[in-house]
């Protein structure tokens, strides 16, 4: 059996502090797996620069010059974590047999890669890295993350609980995944849609080694909205259901008002009227906002703009890639 060629895909955005620490760990893991006979000797670590404003890209270029295990590509501008990861995976799909995507911050347990590769050899095409606990998180981070996954599942978005973007994916899956052409992407909800045999590997997540987190609460909320509106129409159905319920209440209100008029028992009350108007007005604006979110996504999809543009590589290539 031929040894699979592995590319570890690492999205990077302003990681000049942590990159010199984690890069050797990624390289050593490749050497360890190759020495154990689990992967090919020509496996690589692919860093994907997301238009960083610090020295991240320069560090990647220096690493590539020092060691052949390191390679890198850079986007023409900052396009966000999901598009950056997609750029790396699409670059790797025709050049390796398996990829493992992992963040650069050193929080994900790199030793989980051993079990991921073992599961691949057992026939799994996708192996999800799943956090076994959230004891290193703050109370707010822990509970908001749990709400995030529960909300995603209730809204009809298929996700793996406590899984972010630490996963092994075969080139076979990636080639089918390339057929997904949407601009609004939410990778952790899209890979389950591809199918193929999959499993999960649990690991402990550590504290960030250096630098600051690039995913504060507001970005998590934005990611949740992106995932829900990209993969589910349930919010639209909820608006329809709530609208029908409101109409039903309105009919009851009209009947009640007519009865009160007939009984000459009407009472002038501006407070109750104002509350009803404000409530219904708020519901209408909120509903229009959700509908507008979907219309905005349709607008972006019809433009068919590239999801990423690769401006630089640490190796010579026949053409630049964009998607």
Write out pLDDT tens, residues 272-296. 665 666 666 667 767 777 777 777 7
Q: Residue 245 falls within a domain, yes or no? A: yes
> Which tokens go with 174?
């990636």
**Same domain assignment for residues 156 and 244:** no
For residues 190 and 279, membership in a common domain is answered with no
Say which residue, 161 or 200, is predicted with more confidence: 200
In a domain, 273, yes or no: yes
Q: Do 249 and 216 fall into the same domain?
A: no
Q: Using 50, 70 and 90 to split pLDDT, how confident is the model at 209? A: low
Same domain, 137 and 256: no
The total of structural domains in the chain comes to 2
Which of 181, 208, 231 finishes a domain? 231
- Give yes or no: residues 170 and 274 share one domain: no
Same domain, 65 and 164: yes
Last residue of a domain, one of 231, 258, 284: 231
* SS3 state at 81: helix
The region that residue 320 occupies, defined by phi over 0 for left and psi between -120 and 50 for alpha, beta otherwise, is: beta
Domain boundary residue, one of 201, 231, 261: 231
Domain that holds residue 277: 234-303
d(CA 308, CA 286): 32
Residue 317 domain flag: no
Assess whether 217 and 255 both reside in one domain: no
Query: Looking at the domain assignment, is residue 1 inside a domain?
Result: no
Distance CA 225, CA 148 (A): 10
Residue 323 lies in a domain: no
Q: Is 49 a member of any domain?
A: yes
The three-state secondary structure class of 143 is: helix
Task: Mention every residue, 6+ apart, whose C-beta is less than 8 A from residue 308.
Answer: 75, 79, 83, 84, 86, 87, 322, 323
User: What SS3 class is residue 201?
Assistant: strand
Cα–Cα distance, 179 to 204 (Å, whole number): 33
pLDDT tens, 54-91? 899 999 999 999 889 999 999 888 888 888 889 999 99
CATH of the domain at 167: 3.90.550.10
- Concatenated DSSP letters for 151-176? HHHHTT----TTEEEEEEEEHHHHHH
Q: Are residues 140 and 45 in the same domain?
A: yes
Distance CA 15, CA 35 (A): 29
Q: Are residues 284 and 148 in the same domain?
A: no
Contact 125, 169 (CB under 8 A): yes
Q: Specify whether 100 is located in the same domain as 192.
A: yes
Please check whether residue 142 lies inside any domain of the structure: yes
Percent of the chain with pLDDT over 90: 25
Q: Is residue 71 situated within a structural domain?
A: yes
Label residue 315 by pLDDT band (50, 70, 90): confident
* CB-count exposure of residue 1 (10 Å: 0-12, 13-18, 19+): exposed
pLDDT band at residue 303 under the 50/70/90 scheme: low
Same domain? 161 vs 105 = yes
In a shared domain, residues 111 and 141? yes
Instruction: Assign 74 to helix, strand or coil.
Output: strand
pLDDT band at 113 (very low <50, low <70, confident <90, very high): very high
Residue 99 DSSP code:
E
């Amino acid at each position: 059996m031929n040894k699979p060629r592995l590319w570890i895909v690492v999205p990077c955005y302003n990681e000049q502090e942590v990159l010199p620490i984690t890069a050797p760990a990624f390289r050593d893991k490749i050497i360890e797996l190759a020495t154990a006979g689990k992967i090919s000797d020509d496996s690589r670590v692919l860093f994907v620069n997301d238009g960083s404003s610090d020295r991240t890209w320069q560090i990647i270029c220096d690493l590539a010059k020092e060691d052949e295990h390191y390679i890198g590509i850079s986007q023409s501008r900052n396009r966000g974590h999901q598009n950056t990861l997609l750029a790396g995976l699409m670059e790797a799909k025709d050049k390796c047999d398996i990829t493992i995507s992992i963040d650069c911050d050193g929080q994900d347990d790199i030793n989980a890669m051993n079990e991921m590769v073992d599961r691949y050899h057992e026939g799994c095409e996708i192996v999800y890295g799943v956090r076994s606990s959230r004891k290193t998180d703050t109370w707010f981070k822990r509970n908001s993350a749990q709400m995030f996954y529960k909300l995603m599942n209730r809204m009809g978005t298929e996700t793996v609980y406590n899984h972010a973007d630490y996963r092994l994916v075969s080139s076979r899956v990636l080639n089918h995944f390339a057929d997904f052409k949407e601009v609004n992407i939410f990778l952790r909800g899209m890979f389950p849609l591809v199918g193929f045999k999959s499993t999960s590997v649990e690991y402990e997540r550590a504290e960030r080694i250096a630098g600051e987190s690039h995913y504060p609460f507001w970005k998590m909320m934005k990611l949740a909205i992106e995932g829900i509106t990209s993969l589910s129409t349930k919010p639209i159905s909820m608006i329809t259901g709530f609208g029908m319920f409101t109409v039903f209440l309105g009919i009851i209100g009209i009947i009640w008002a007519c009865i009160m008029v007939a009984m000459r028992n009407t009472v002038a009350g501006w407070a109750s009227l104002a509350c009803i108007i404000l409530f219904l007005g708020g519901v209408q604006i909120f509903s229009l906002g959700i509908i507008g979110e979907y219309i905005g996504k349709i607008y972006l999809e019809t433009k068919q703009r590239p999801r990423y543009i690769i401006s630089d590589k640490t190796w010579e290539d026949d053409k630049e890639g964009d998607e």
